[in-house]
């Protein structure tokens, strides 16, 4: 998902976008959902959130590490 789409989703959820990076915005959204701010972290290997909106991007980021 590109940054502009992430920003649009964040705005629709009442999150201030300002100059935040993609991962920071997603972390903010995860927290407001009551979840761990785990996007792009090593948690992906034990993540059971199959319906997570960010899962595909998270897996791609972690593949590059």
Short-list 25, 19, 26, CA closest to 54: 26
Contact 15, 37 (CB under 8 A): no
Calculate the CA dihedral of residues 38, 21, 17, 9 and round it to 10 degrees. -60
Which of helix, strand or coil describes residue 11?
Answer: helix
Per-residue pLDDT 10s for the chain (65 aa) are 999 999 999 999 999 999 999 999 999 999 998 888 999 988 877 888 888 899 889 988 887 76
Q: What integer pLDDT is reported at residue 64 of this predicted model?
A: 75
Q: Torsions phi, psi of 51, nearest 5?
A: -95, 5
């Amino acid at each position: 998902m590109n940054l502009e789409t992430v920003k649009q989703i964040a705005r629709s959820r009442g999150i201030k976008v300002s100059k935040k990076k993609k991962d920071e915005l997603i972390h903010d959204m995860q927290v407001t959902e009551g979840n761990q701010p785990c996007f792009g972290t090593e948690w992906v290997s034990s993540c059971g959130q199959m319906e997570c909106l960010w899962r595909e991007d998270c897996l791609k980021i972690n593949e590059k590490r």
